[in-house]
C-alpha cells in the first residue's frame, strides 16, 4: 500500500506481511497475515515512529522516499525493540546516518544487544517532550506492554497515540487502514482478540496500568503497530483491551471452552454425551480438538468464559501430549481462576486425571468434577456422561 495521510504531515507508512507463517515463530498467521505499522511526521524536524520487520525493509524505505528523501531523516523513535518493529533499523541507519534514535534506557541496551548499535542514541523518559516544530511528541512509559523497555508516543497537536503493540491485532490491512473504512470490522476485532490472547495477555497487569495512565490523555486516533488505525471510535479498542486484560484473571461470562483430544475415539465418544448434557442447559460452548487446532485460536476462547472442560486420554505415562502443550500455553498466558472439569479414557492406569489435577493447582483453576473411565464410555455408563455435562453447566451458570 502507498503511504496514507492520518492528519496534515502525519502519515502511516506501514507494510503488510503476507509471507510469514508463524508470528514470533509460534502463532499462525498464514491465512490472516499481519501489518507492521510505522508512522512518519514531516515537520521542521522529520521523525519516524516505529519501523518494520527486516524482510519488509525495502517497501518501508520506498514509503519514506515518497514523502522526503530518507537521508534527511532527523529522528527514529523506537517504542519497542522486538524485531518486528526494528528489523529495518540497520539498513535505515545506513541511508540516514545523521538520524538520532530516540528510545527508553532499556531499549538502548537492547538495541546494542540485538543490533550492536551504540552511537547516536538519545534516552528519553516518561513525560519528556520532543519538539519537531509544529508537532510535539510526548513519551509515555508503558513497561512490559509488551517488553520491559516499551513506551508509547503521544502527538499533542492532533492527539494521536502511537501505542505500539497495545491495541494491535493480526490481519493485513487490505485497502484501508482505518476502523471506519474496514471491510469487516468484526473480523478485525476477532483477530485483535486472538493477537491479545497470544501476545499481550501474559502482561495483562502492566497493560491495565498503561490504560489507567492513558486516561490523562485526550485521544483522537489510536495508531498501533499492528492492525487497524482507530479514528472513528478510538475508545472502542482501548475498552476492548481493558476488558480482555481483566478477563485473564476474572472471567467475564458463563460459558464453556471444550478442549479435547482422542486417540482411538473413546474420549471423543464420551465428549458427545457430555456435550448433550451441556447444551441442554443453554450455555455458550466452543469446542476445540487440540490435535488439529493451534493453541493460538483456543486462547481467545479461554478469555471469554468461566468454564474449561478438558477431555484427554492417558497416553503411556502421561496426559495426552497435545493437551499438556495447550495447558502450558494457558499457564504461560496467565489464564487463571477458571472452573474446570476433566474426562478421559485410560487403558490400565488413570495418569491423565492425576496430571490434570496438578496442572489445575498451578493455574489456580477450580476442578469441579472428574469422569475418567477404563476403555470405552460404556464402562461408566453413557448417561453418566450426559449428567456430568448437565452438572458442569449448572455450576458455571450459578457462578454468575
Instruction: Provide the angle, in degrees to the nearest 10, between the axes of the packed helices 234-247 and 185-195.
Output: 40
Comparison of 107 and 274: residue with beta carbon closer to ligand FEO: 107
Shortest Cβ distance from residue 259 to ligand FEO (Å)? 26
First to last CA, the chain: 47
20 binds ligand FEO (CB under 6 A): no
74 binds ligand FEO (CB under 6 A): no
DSSP state of 231: -
**DSSP states of 256-315:** EEEEE--SSSHHHHHHHHHHHHHHTT---EEEEETTTS-HHHHHHHHTT-SEEEEE--EE
Binding mask 198-237 for ligand FEO (x = CB under 6 A): ---------------------------xx-----------
32 binds ligand FEO (CB under 6 A): no
Q: Which residue in 9, 32, 74, 82 binds ligand FEO (CB under 6 A)?
A: 82
Residue nearest to ligand FEO (CB): 82
Shortest Cβ distance from residue 186 to ligand FEO (Å)? 23
Whole-angstrom Cα distance, residue 89 to residue 102?
12
Q: Please identify, among the stretches 76-84, 109-117, 252-260, 322-330, the one whose residues bind ligand FEO according to the rule CB under 6 A.
A: 76-84
Per-residue burial over 102-131, b = 16 or more CB atoms within 10 Å of its CB, e = otherwise: bbbebbbebbeeeeebeeebeebeeebebe
80 binds ligand FEO (CB under 6 A): yes
Coil, helix or strand at residue 157? coil
Comparison of 54 and 289: residue with beta carbon closer to ligand FEO: 54
Whole-angstrom Cα distance, residue 94 to residue 181?
36
Shortest Cβ distance from residue 100 to ligand FEO (Å)? 22
Comparison of 240 and 397: residue with beta carbon closer to ligand FEO: 240
Shortest Cβ distance from residue 85 to ligand FEO (Å)? 6
DSSP state of 378: G
Shortest Cβ distance from residue 203 to ligand FEO (Å)? 10
In contact, 126 and 112? CB cutoff 8 Å: no
84 binds ligand FEO (CB under 6 A): yes
Q: Which residue in 63, 135, 146, 338 binds ligand FEO (CB under 6 A)?
A: 146
191 binds ligand FEO (CB under 6 A): no
Q: Binding residues for ligand FEO, how many (CB under 6 A)?
A: 8
165 binds ligand FEO (CB under 6 A): yes
Residue 68: alpha-carbon gap to chain centroid:
34
- Torsion sign, CA atoms 248, 250, 254, 260: positive
Comparison of 222 and 319: residue with beta carbon closer to ligand FEO: 222
Q: Please identify, among the stretches 81-89, 190-198, 315-323, 332-340, the one whose residues bind ligand FEO according to the rule CB under 6 A.
A: 81-89
Whole-angstrom Cα distance, residue 189 to residue 163?
17
Q: Which of 46, 114, 57, 68 is nearest to 91 (CA)?
A: 57
333 binds ligand FEO (CB under 6 A): no
Percent helix, strand and coil across the chain, each to the nearest 5: 40, 25, 40
- Bridge partner list, 23: 27
DSSP state of 253: S
Shortest Cβ distance from residue 22 to ligand FEO (Å)? 14
Binding mask 97-136 for ligand FEO (x = CB under 6 A): ----------------------------------------
324 binds ligand FEO (CB under 6 A): no
Shortest Cβ distance from residue 226 to ligand FEO (Å)? 6
Q: Which residue in 35, 38, 47, 85 binds ligand FEO (CB under 6 A)?
A: 85
Comparison of 199 and 371: residue with beta carbon closer to ligand FEO: 199
Provide the grid cell at 325.
502443550
Measure Cα distances from 397 to 236, 278, 394 in Å: 28, 11, 5
Query: Which spans of this chain sit near ligand FEO (rule: CB under 6 A)?
Result: 80, 82, 84-85, 146, 165, 225-226
Amino acid at each position: 500500500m502507498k503511504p496514507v495521510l492520518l492528519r496534515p504531515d502525519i502519515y502511516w507508512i506501514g507494510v503488510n506481511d503476507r509471507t510469514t507463517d508463524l508470528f514470533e515463530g509460534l502463532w499462525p498467521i498464514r491465512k490472516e497475515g499481519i501489518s507492521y505499522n510505522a508512522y512518519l511526521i514531516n515537520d521542521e524536524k522529520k521523525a519516524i515512529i516505529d519501523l518494520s520487520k527486516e524482510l519488509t525493509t525495502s517497501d518501508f524505505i520506498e514509503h519514506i522516499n515518497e514523502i522526503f528523501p530518507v537521508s534527511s531523516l532527523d529522528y527514529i523513535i523506537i517504542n519497542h525493540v522486538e524485531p518486528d518493529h526494528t528489523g529495518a533499523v540497520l539498513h535505515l541507519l545506513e541511508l540516514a546516518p545523521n538520524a538520532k534514535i530516540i528510545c527508553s534506557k532499556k531499549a538502548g541496551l537492547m538495541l546494542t544487544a540485538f543490533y550492536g548499535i551504540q552511537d547516536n542514541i538519545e534516552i528519553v523518559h516518561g513525560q519528556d517532550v520532543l519538539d519537531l516544530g509544529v508537532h510535539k511528541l510526548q513519551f509515555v512509559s508503558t513497561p512490559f506492554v509488551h517488553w520491559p523497555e516499551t513506551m508509547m508516543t503521544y502527538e499533542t497537536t492532533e492527539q494521536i497515540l502511537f501505542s505500539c503493540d497495545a491495541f494491535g491485532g493480526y490481519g493485513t490491512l487490505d485497502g484501508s487502514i482505518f476502523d471506519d473504512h474496514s471491510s469487516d470490522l468484526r473480523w478485525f476485532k476477532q483477530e485483535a482478540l486472538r493477537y491479545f490472547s497470544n501476545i499481550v495477555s501474559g502482561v495483562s497487569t502492566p497493560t491495565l496500568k498503561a490504560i489507567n495512565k492513558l486516561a490523562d490523555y485526550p485521544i483522537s486516533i489510536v495508531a498501533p503497530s499492528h492492525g487497524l488505525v482507530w479514528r472513528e471510535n478510538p475508545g472502542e479498542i482501548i475498552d476492548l483491551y481493558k476488558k480482555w486484560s481483566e478477563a485473564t484473571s476474572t472471567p467475564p461470562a458463563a460459558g464453556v471452552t471444550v478442549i479435547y483430544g482422542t486417540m482411538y475415539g473413546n474420549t471423543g465418544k464420551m465428549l458427545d454425551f457430555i456435550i448433550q448434557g451441556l447444551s441442554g442447559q443453554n450455555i455458550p460452548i466452543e469446542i476445540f480438538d487440540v490435535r488439529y487446532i493451534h493453541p493460538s485460536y483456543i486462547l481467545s476462547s479461554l478469555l471469554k468464559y468461566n468454564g474449561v472442560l478438558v477431555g484427554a486420554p492417558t497416553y503411556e505415562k502421561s496426559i495426552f501430549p497435545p493437551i499438556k502443550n495447550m495447558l502450558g500455553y494457558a499457564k504461560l498466558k496467565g489464564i487463571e481462576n477458571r472452573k474446570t472439569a476433566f474426562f478421559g479414557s485410560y487403558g490400565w492406569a488413570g495418569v491423565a486425571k492425576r496430571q490434570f489435577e496438578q496442572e489445575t493447582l498451578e493455574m489456580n483453576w477450580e476442578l469441579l468434577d472428574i469422569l475418567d473411565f477404563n476403555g470405552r464410555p460404556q464402562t461408566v455408563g453413557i448417561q453418566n456422561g450426559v449428567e456430568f455435562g448437565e452438572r458442569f453447566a449448572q455450576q458455571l451458570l450459578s457462578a454468575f
